[in-house]
Amino acid sequence: MRLSELGHHIVATVTAVEDAGAADPIARRLRDLGFVAGELVKIVAHGPVQRDPMLVQIGYTRFALRRAEAARVQVTPEAA
Amino acid sequence: MSTAALRIALVGNPNCGKTALFNQLTGSRQKVANYAGVTVERKEGRVLTPSGRVLQLLDLPGAYSFDAASPDEVITRDVCHGRYPGEAAPDLIVCVADATNLRLHLRFVLEVQRLGRPMVLALNMMDAAARRGVRIDVAELQRQLGIPVIETVAVRRDGAAALIARLDRQDLPPAPTVTTDHDLHIAVRALLAATVTMPSRTGSVDDALDRITLHPVFGLAILAVLMFLIFQAVFSWAQPLMDGIGAGIAALGALATQSLPDGALKSLLVNGVFSGLGSVLVFLPQILILFLFILVLEESGYLPRAAFLLDRLMFKAGLTGRAFIPLLSSFACAIPGIMATRSIQDPRDRLTTILVAPLMTCSARLPVYTLLIAAFIPQRTVWGLFNLQGIVLFGLYFAGVTSALTVASVIKRLRKDKSEHALLMELPSYRIPNPRDIAIGLKERAEIFLKRVGGIILTLIILLWFLSSFPAAPVDAALPAINYSLAGRIGHFMQPLFAPIGFGWQICVALIPGLAAREVAVSALGTVYAMSGSDDAVATQLGPMIAHQWSLATALSLLAWYVFAPQCLSTLAIIRRETGSWKIVAIAAGYLFALAYAGAFVTFRIASLWS
């Protein structure tokens, strides 16, 4: 599933970051920020309007991603 | 020992505490400028080591990666590679990493290491790491990276002593051997596994605070209260200081010129130089109070949270959450607002914010609004609850905000580069702001304002004095002296252009000195109508006078004009400074003028039909 669809406080593993179009700078930046296969992520907060942007915890860092940005990240939720 | 100062570049991820470390190392021996041709700040400082060596320290902009995504990162990359025009390659790179956030920061450390230049790793915030139970095997990290690793606590006195001691040694650390066969992320994971033990849970303080500050309801409430406080402070705390500065400069002017005979020289000094100086310095208290709040909020880590809460709303209007603080500041004065746009990384978002900032109703418009509303809008209660005058004032503020949002979305439509704007914003850990870093930040802002903006404003004000004073009125003058001056002539000349929006020649004449600062238009109107006395006295006499002479349509038209008009030269000067482009200044002035004219025209025509 996509990171943008992940529920609140559910831990998931990143499987891939997909480019939206050729040489997508945002996808490249996401990888630079540590969104790479095997990392654990969790949504810890949402913006007040239309639940956008979302606050993603990866390692000990928190990133605010807009939904379109989070949709580039493929994740697998941990079995509860 | 070589006599040339060793050139050291300080690099690191954003939020690694690099600037605090720079302040700790250099103290107040800093020089802030811009890189040639761009508006990225170039900060350089000198460090005198205990053995008497002079080190030249360059604080490069924070970067997540050499795969640059912003003008800041391009500079960091090019300087580190030694290919930035006009910057010599650094002799030594000090890479700073937040010890509590090595998973993110080590990747960039490895990227820097692969440059193969002599480097030192400063593991910053070791105190916070220890508190959180992060344990780092520094010796092993040093062995695996092949570079010296030094612990620092940038916010503690002597927290950089070990780093200074290492920099003081005669020998440069050897260039690390570079292996590029590994993927950086795999290398980071291997390093972390070998050298860092982390507790399973960290950042419980951040978790707790974020649960409140980012809450959809409480978060917005806290933000609203904070904004209210800032407004209060900017408007009420600054007032006595502003009055004091105004009176002080006027008294100084009187004292300095009392022995001079009346004449052009005295008038130049009193009405040109000293009143010009006064109208520059009078902004300083508001700017400093505003920046004090902004710096504290920024250092504490709250600012990105505010941007997070508002991003969706602002994004719809073609802006970004980060534009919130600059636009808020512009309610006090567009000058600090435009200066604050430096925190917006995407150049397109920054430009849009700069262009719409003058539409926020700044405090200099208030005296004009107050005068016209008191003179033309009756004191009447509407719907049993609201004061009509208050509603009109609110309407003027509201018109400013809506037009800013509309203009921003038009800019978004017109822009050729439609590629997605990224938010991708790190929300750093909360920190208690360090007084020294705040003080240095404030000093920088004050210097930028006084040196660069002050110079331009002062020049323009003296020019305007010249226009309003020459040629002098004939001895048997029937009209006030300003009518015979160049400004008066220009006013009369402009009148046909402004007749369709209902402005008489008196208003046209008053608009010219009003270019220096909007509120000056009130005293200029007083001059045109030949009144004298203090500003307050003029305003009280002026109200009934213009109520008698102007039509309601003219007054409303002037109010509408003031919502948009680009008649603050200081704002145009700061736009020039922050964008480095006269073209942008022309675009800003042009569109604001067009809006003002159109707004006043429509208002005048509709109001004329009505009355």
The identity of residue B303, as a single letter, is L
Per-residue pLDDT tens over the stretch B103-115: 899 999 999 999 9
Residue B611: is its pLDDT beyond 70? no
Q: How confident is the model at residue B530 (pLDDT cuts 50, 70, 90)?
A: low
Pairing of strands A73-77, B425-426: unpaired
Task: Mean pLDDT check: name the lowest of B72-76, B193-197, B421-425.
Answer: B421-425
Per-residue pLDDT tens over the stretch B80-103: 999 998 888 999 999 999 998 898
Q: Measured between alpha carbons, how far is residue B40 from residues B159, B343, B576 in Å? A: 28, 11, 14
Q: How confident is the model at residue B388 (pLDDT cuts 50, 70, 90)?
A: confident
The predicted pLDDT at position B300 comes to 92
Residues 6+ apart with CB under 8 A from B199: B132, B133, B134
Per-residue pLDDT tens over the stretch B297-351: 888 999 889 999 999 989 988 899 889 878 987 887 788 789 888 878 788 899 9
Domain limits, chain A: 1-10+22-59
Residues of A in Cβ contact (< 8 Å) with B422? 25-26, 29, 66, 69
Residue B534: is its pLDDT beyond 60? no
CB-based contact B104:B62 (threshold 8 Å): no
Tell me the average pLDDT of chain B. 84
The predicted pLDDT at position B439 comes to 92
Q: In 3-state terms, chain A is what percent helix, strand and coil (to 5)? A: 20, 45, 40
The predicted pLDDT at position A42 comes to 92
Residue B532: is its pLDDT beyond 80? no
The predicted pLDDT at position B37 comes to 65
Number of helical H runs and strand E runs in chain A? 2, 5
The interface predicted TM-score of the complex, written ipTM, equals: 0.94
Closest C-alpha to B285, from B238, B330, B326 = B238
Best probe of the B interface among A28, A32, A56, by most B CBs < 10 A, is A32
Asked if A49 is an interface residue toward chain B (Cβ–Cβ < 8 A), one would say yes
Q: Widest CA span of chain A, in angstroms?
A: 36
Closest C-alpha to B467, from B455, B484, B443 = B484
Per-residue pLDDT tens over the stretch B3-44: 578 899 999 998 898 989 999 999 877 887 777 666 678 899
CB-based contact B468:B513 (threshold 8 Å): yes
Chain A nearest CA to B92, separation (Å)? 24
Asked if B219 is an interface residue toward chain A (Cβ–Cβ < 8 A), one would say yes
Task: Mean pLDDT check: name the lowest of B183-197, B214-228, B265-279, B377-391.
Answer: B265-279
Domains of chain B with CATH codes: 6-202 (3.40.50.300), 207-301 (no CATH), 459-610 (no CATH)
Asked if B420 is an interface residue toward chain A (Cβ–Cβ < 8 A), one would say yes
Asked if B572 is an interface residue toward chain A (Cβ–Cβ < 8 A), one would say no
β-bridge partners, B41: B34
Distance separating alpha carbons of residues B303 and B199, to the nearest angstrom: 28
Cα dihedral value B97, B99, B100, B104, nearest 10 = 40
Residue B523: is its pLDDT beyond 60? yes
Residues 6+ apart with CB under 8 A from B182: B190
Q: How confident is the model at residue B507 (pLDDT cuts 50, 70, 90)?
A: confident
Best probe of the A interface among B109, B420, B423, by most A CBs < 10 A, is B423
The predicted pLDDT at position B163 comes to 92
DSSP state for residue B496 in the 8-state scheme: H
For residue A21, give the chain B residue with the closest CA.
Answer: B419
For residue A59, give the chain B residue with the closest CA.
Answer: B103
Q: How confident is the model at residue B1 (pLDDT cuts 50, 70, 90)?
A: very low
The reported pTM is 0.80
Q: How confident is the model at residue A41 (pLDDT cuts 50, 70, 90)?
A: very high
Per-residue pLDDT tens over the stretch B43-76: 999 998 888 888 999 999 999 999 887 888 899 9
Give the whole-number percent of chain B exceeding pLDDT 70. 92
H or E segment at A14?
A: strand A12-17
Per-residue pLDDT tens over the stretch B160-175: 999 999 988 878 888 8
| Cβ <8 Å between B312 and A53 | yes
Chain A nearest CA to B79, separation (Å)? 20
Per-residue pLDDT tens over the stretch B203-252: 678 888 999 999 999 999 999 999 888 877 876 787 788 888 888 888 88
Distance separating alpha carbons of residues A59 and B602, to the nearest angstrom: 57
Q: How confident is the model at residue B136 (pLDDT cuts 50, 70, 90)?
A: very high
The predicted pLDDT at position B200 comes to 58
Residue B254: is its pLDDT beyond 90? no
The predicted pLDDT at position B18 comes to 92
Residue B368: is its pLDDT beyond 70? yes
Best probe of the B interface among A54, A61, A67, by most B CBs < 10 A, is A61
Cα dihedral value B77, B83, B84, B88, nearest 10 = 110
Residue A11 CA to chain centroid, in angstroms?
Answer: 11
Pairing of strands B386-387, B381-382: antiparallel
CB-based contact B142:B173 (threshold 8 Å): no
Give the whole-number percent of chain B exceeding pLDDT 90. 32
Residue B585: is its pLDDT beyond 90? yes
